[in-house]
Structure 1
Amino acid sequence: MSTHKQSKTDQAISRITTITALIVLVVLLVWGGKTVLSYMKYEETNDAQIDEYINPVTARVSGYVKEVRFEENQEVKKGDTLVLIDDDDYTVQQDEAAASLLNAEAQVAVQQSNIRTAQAGAAVSSAKIASAKAKLWKQQAEYDRYKKLYDAESATRQQLETIESLLQVAQAEYQAAKEDYAAALSKTNDIKAQSDVLQSEIKRRQAVVKRNNLNTSYTVILAPYDGKMGRRTIQPGQLVQNGQTLAYIVDRSQGKWVVANFKETQIARMHVGEEVSVEIDAFPNVSFTGKIESLSGATGSRFSLLPPDNSTGNFVKIAQRIPVRIRLAAQQVDFEKLNAGMSAIVKVKKND
């Protein structure tokens, strides 16, 4: 009786074992078949990550942080104020530059007045030339008349010399009038030249005002585009320097892509524009689509800090990786949840 029960138990165990083995075999066959079919139809790699542009937010002027208006991992819009730097020093410089510009512009008005005065003086000198010329012409005619009278012995030598001296005075006055006019013109030209120099000075001071206005505006640091802030490392009261990195921002406006590192033996039939299937480890039940945007011009090792040199004598042949950039389509479920650095599995259909 006991032997009979033991035999039934052994048979049950045998059946269960056989069924379990068959189930495992079927599962293995199905999995193996799918793997083989996938290997035949697709090139696949799990050496892939989501990527986005992550750019530094830097200070363009030095100063003390007055206020920080963002938190770590905060979503921001283009134009949102991120950091305020104390602008007292820059507003003082701005006011000083504006005052200097006003002073230079006031000097222009003075120069214009001086030019008008000099031009009026030149006009007076020009009028004196005409008067002196008329006087000279009269004295010359008087001298010629007395010379003829003297030659005809109708006038004395003393009278001729008197008229001759008056003629020389008229000539001297005429020459002096011309020289005065030339000096007045020269003075006018000098003032005009000084005015040109002053105009250049005004342009220089306008540039200084513009520079100070820019420096003052740089004390307000704005978000350059829609994005998500990274780690916050600054606090109010902290001294920052020109060019110092204040934070990092993930650029949401440029989209997201995957950098998949395929073996060099896998990319022979890949081409730009080809559709790609992407699975993200964080969302195992969601399949994302994208298109190949570009294939790298060199292997990843060639872009490393210390590229390998095969001529050193320790060469070992291994399959190199070629980075392939894949642009993800934006209108997809859970697309906004994808973050840079997430691991992915990429499948590219083989082309004949």
Structure 2
Amino acid sequence: MNHPIQTPASNTAAFNQKRKKLFALLAVAVAAAGGGYGTYWKLVASHYVSTDNAYTNAEVAQVTSQIDGQVADVKVVNSQKIKRGDVLVTLDNTDATLNLRQAQADLARAQAQKIAAESDLERASIDLKRREALAGTGAVSGDEITHIKDAENNAHAALDAANASIAQSQARLDRTRVDLARTVIRAPVDGVVARREVQLGQRVQPSVPLLSVVPVQSMYVNANFKEVQLEGVHPGQKATMTSDLYGSDIVYHGVVEGFDGGTGSAFALIPAQNATGNWIKVVQRLPVRIRLDPAELAAHPLRVGLSMNTTIDLQNKS
């Protein structure tokens, strides 16, 4: 039986034909993949924008003392959960208590002075009426009546001074009561204690930070989207987020609340000066604030600064 002889030319032609078929199949596969991706982008992907440049944040409450004083007790530690009104720090109240007692004594003295002034005024008024009744008979001289009028005027002035002294003493008493109450520093909001710097025995002054309270129940997300992604983003749109802390199994749901007033670079300590000869355009990111669901936060608490993967649905609104 005779077999056809394979020549080099026939081998090359067969190889070229096979390669053309493979390239044709590859072109068909690429075209199909491109068409599929285009369809997916038009029907699905173009309706969402996503970023992994997102972080949790909260309106952290900074606790400071409103008066000078020495720390007598610190009742909280970092990471401790607290409720609004819980005692955080107490200051030595010895000076405040003494000032309160002094203010109470000053008020009592002013009130006694008022009583004496009222008595003097009443007596002077009675004397003046009696003298004026007798003036027509000539039994009382004009000088005597003038003297009684001066006494009445002086009693009026003493009463006015006593009333002013009472008002001043009352204000001082109210202030000392406030200062005494301020020796007990309480939590302004519910949350978790963070950055506790105050120590027992420390001398504190107003405006010096003692600790912070993070309201974890009011956490939100700052998602830094590229400026080219924000054309279709509007307040009220729904968003889904996952945290690196819990993984992709835990999904948070939120709502877009708004946009920051500027990009991060615009508010940097040293803003970029783009009016230079070697300027290179860099796509900027604008923080988008997203409100989280309080129930989901309660079930899976977050902390400030955690990374979040964020996707915004450009079609749906809450």
Q: In which range does the TM-score fall when normalised by the shorter chain?
A: 0.7 to 0.9
- Stretches (4+) displaced over 6 A: none
Aligned-pair identity in percent equals 30
Closer, same or farther in 2 for the Cα pair 1:184/1:99, shift >3 Å? Answer: same
**Paired residue secondary structure (1:277):** strand
Hey, what does 1:115 align to over in structure 2? 121
For 2:272, what is the secondary structure of its paired residue?
coil
CA distance in 2: counterparts of 1:315 and 1:85, whole angstroms: 56
**2:188 corresponds to 1:217:** no
Contact 1:100/1:205 (<8 A) preserved:
yes
Q: CA deviation at 1:347?
A: 0.8
| Cα distance between partner residues in 2 of 1:126 and 1:119 | 11
Q: Are 1:183 and 2:147 an aligned pair?
A: yes
After superposition, what is the alpha-carbon deviation per residue over 1:75-99, rounded to whole angstroms, capped at 9, x for unaligned? Answer: 0111111111110011111111110
Matched, 1:80 2:44: no
Matching of residues 279-290 of structure 1 within 5 Å: 279-284=242-247, 285-290=249-254
Determine if contact 1:61/1:243 at 8 Å carries over to the other structure. Answer: no
Note the alpha carbon deviations across 1:283-319, whole angstroms, 9 max, x for none: 2211111000011232222222222232344432111
Match of 2:9 in 1: none
Residue 64 of structure 2 is aligned to residue 58 of structure 1 = yes
Amino acid at match of 1:316: I
Paired position in structure 2 for 1:305: 269
Distance 1:222 1:336, change over 3 A: farther
Cα distance, 1:348 vs structure 2: 1.4
Aligned to 1:150: none
Any unmatched runs of 5+ in structure 1? 1-24, 133-172
How far apart are the structure 2 equivalents of 1:350 and 1:291? 11
Q: Name the counterpart of 1:90.
A: 96
State how far apart, in whole Å, the 1-side matches of 2:255 and 2:236 are: 5
TM-score by length of 1: 0.74
What CA distance in whole angstroms lies between the structure 1 residues aligned with 2:236 and 2:306?
Answer: 23
Larger CA deviation: 332-341 vs 272-281: 332-341
Q: Quick one: distance in 1 between partners of 2:117 and 2:192? A: 57
Q: Which amino acid aligns with 1:259?
A: N
Instruction: Give distance in 1, aligned partners of 2:315 and 2:228.
Output: 14
Q: Which residue of 2 aligns with 1:251?
A: 215
In 2, Cα distance between equivalents of 1:334 and 1:215: 37
Contact 2:216 2:303 in 1 (8 A): no
| Equivalent position of 1:15 in the other structure | none
Q: Is 1:238 aligned to 2:202, yes or no? A: yes
Give the counterpart letter for 1:218 in structure 2: R
The residue that corresponds to 1:47 in the other structure is 53
Structure 2 CA distance for aligned equivalents of residues 334 and 84 of structure 1: 30
Instruction: Report the more deviating stretch, 191-200 or 103-112.
Output: 191-200
Larger radius of gyration: 1
Partner secondary structure for residue 348 of structure 1: strand
How many residues of Structure 1 are paired with residues of Structure 2 in the alignment? 279
Using the TM superposition, give the Cα deviation of residue 131 of structure 1 relative to its aligned residue in structure 2, in angstroms: 1.4
SS of the counterpart of 1:303?
coil
What pairs with 1:1-352 in structure 2 (closer than 5 Å)? Answer: 37=41, 39-132=45-138, 177-252=141-216, 255-284=218-247, 285-332=249-296, 335-351=299-315
Normalising by structure 2, what TM-score? 0.81
Aligned with 1:183: secondary structure?
Answer: helix
- Whether the 8 Å CA contact 1:125–1:178 is kept in 2: the answer is no
Q: CA deviation at 1:33?
A: 5.8
Alpha carbons of structure 1 residues 218 and 323: separation in structure 2 relative to 1, 3 Å: same
CA offset digits 1:128-163 (Å, max 9, x no partner):
20211xxxxxxxxxxxxxxxxxxxxxxxxxxxxxxx
* Secondary structure in structure 1 of the residue aligned to 2:114: helix
Displacement of 1:330 after TM fit?
1.4
- Runs of 5+ in structure 2 lacking a partner? 1-28
Amino acid at match of 1:105: Q
CA contact (8 A) 1:59 1:244 kept: yes
Q: How far apart are 1:333 and its partner, in Å? A: 6.9
Instruction: Tell me, in whole angstroms, the C-alpha distance in 2 between the residues paired with 1:261 and 1:306.
Output: 20
CA RMSD of aligned residues (A): 2.4
Q: CA separation in 2, counterparts of 1:213 and 1:313?
A: 65
Q: Is the 1:87–1:219 contact (alpha carbons within 8 Å) kept by the matching residues of 2? A: yes
Q: What SS does the corresponding residue of 2:85 show, helix, strand or coil?
A: coil
Greater alpha carbon shift after TM alignment, 191-200 vs 308-317? 308-317
